[in-house]
Amino acid sequence: MTESETLARLYAALQTTKPGIRDLPVDDRREYMKEAKRRSRQKAREAAETGSPEPTSAAVRAALADAAIMLLVDRIQRLVPTPDGGDDFVGVCGP
């Protein structure tokens, strides 16, 4: 098979693919996205009700931020001891 035949077959294969969401008219795409978001929220709501919420981007980001803050506080407490020698952080932050 020659290079031009290979390219022709590739082009034909690409032309036969079905259109995607981005190919929809603006109003149809908006309606599709609205329905997809509704389904996503319903799925997340059902998962939360069963006690196993889905790991959404926002939830993962919040959990990672909380963990980072806890690690930083722990590290600061180890580096900067409080005046009374305890492990509380009140003496360093203020009265």
pTM for this prediction: 0.46
- Asked whether the CA dihedral 20, 22, 25, 31 is positive or negative, the reply is positive
- Provide the residue-wise pLDDT of the chain in tens; the chain has 95 residues: 899 999 999 888 888 777 788 888 999 999 999 999 999 999 989 988 998 888 888 889 999 999 999 999 988 888 887 666 665 555 445 44
Domain boundaries, the chain: 3-93
